[in-house]
Structure 1
Amino acid sequence: MMKKLLLAIFFISTLTIQAQDTSYHEDVLAYFKVNGTAAQYSNATDGLFDLLKKQYESQNVPESVWTELKADSPKQVERVLNMLVSAYRGTYSHEDIQNMLAFYETGTGRQLLADRTALDYEQQKEASVFYNTPTGQKILMAEPDIAQNIGEISQIWSRDLYRSMVDKLAEKGYSM
């Protein structure tokens, strides 16, 4: 009976930890949507296709091939965002992520992301209050390290995505 109880407790605690991890992951992904990171990487994939079209211009690659290759873009964006979660996991707690989400979903947070120079006086005060919280201070302190990690992840992702697209074009008989 005791073994069954211990096994049940272990199973429940494992499920709880997995649920918390999933919740953290989902919240960071939601934060990436709010703060524009998801859109940034979506735009980056569009830019990559513009570059590839120019590089392969002499090959007369049909639009249907580009459409087929672009169909994979949402998965590629999801892949990099999932990679970026790891950059945040080592720095921000789940509570920090929830605080960041809550702030950046406000009018002040959205304005700060869109154009910080257009903040009015009240918004400047709200932003100041947020950045004086433990989460805000953590954002300010961690910004250089997070930026470096994101830069490294972005570089790896974009290089791999470019290679993948060039390989797929080669499989279809197109080369630069």
Structure 2
Amino acid sequence: MKKLLFALIFLSSLHFNAQESSHRADVLRYLTMNGTANQYSAAIDQLFELLGKQYQEHNISDEVWGELKKESTPELNKILNMLVSAYRGIYEHEDIKNMIAFYETSTGKQLLADKTALTSEQQKEASVFYNSPTGQKILTSEQQIAHRVGEVSEIWSRDLYRNLVDKLAEKGYVMQQ
């Protein structure tokens, strides 16, 4: 009996972990398809431009910058994983699936690319989506998700900046006051 109970607990934990992994993967997919991943990748590039200006007098070699830029991918993954937590705190897995399904349509893609160019038919399709339970949740949680994303972004960007400045200092480059 104990073995059966243990087996049931073990199998249910595997099922739960699989569901959690699927939810996480879907949020990451959504963040990629809606342009969030590209925005943070661009933010990393802009941070390197800022650091290049701040350390301009040091004539830091391309090799050193290249070494630091190797951290871009792990940092991008870090912020996306932080955002997964923010999104999962607001949107159920079913909501994320519905969002993915909508944004994979031509209407969803056009909405992301340029909402001012939506055809009248696409406007109707968008209206149907935003009147659905998931669409309503998106609309009613806009401020909440923006607040959470803002907090996460601030923490991440501050830590990334500090980390890069510390690595430059370790290499002997100290920012001029």
Partner of 1:84: 83
Partner of 2:26: 27
Deviation at 1:105?
1.1
Deviation at 1:166?
0.1
CA distance in 1: counterparts of 2:77 and 2:106, whole angstroms: 27
1:1-176 alignment runs, 5 A limit: 2-176=1-175
Deviation at 1:107?
1.0
Deviations 1:87-121 (Å, cap 9, x if unpaired)? 11111110000000011111111111111111110
Superposed CA RMSD? 0.5
CA distance in 2: counterparts of 1:103 and 1:64, whole angstroms: 43
- Give the unaligned 5+ runs of structure 2: none
- Give the unaligned 5+ runs of structure 1: none
Q: Normalising by the residue count of structure 2, what TM-score does the alignment of the two structures yield?
A: 0.98
Letter in 2 for 1:128: S
Tell me how many residue pairs correspond in the alignment: 175
Deviation at 1:169?
0.3
Deviations 1:107-156 (Å, cap 9, x if unpaired)? 11111111111111011011000001000000000010000000010000
Secondary structure of residue in 2 paired with 1:175: coil
Deviation at 1:62?
0.3
Secondary structure of residue in 1 paired with 2:141: helix
Letter in 2 for 1:21: E
Letter in 1 for 2:42: N
Secondary structure of residue in 1 paired with 2:60: coil
Letter in 1 for 2:102: F
Report the identity percentage. 65
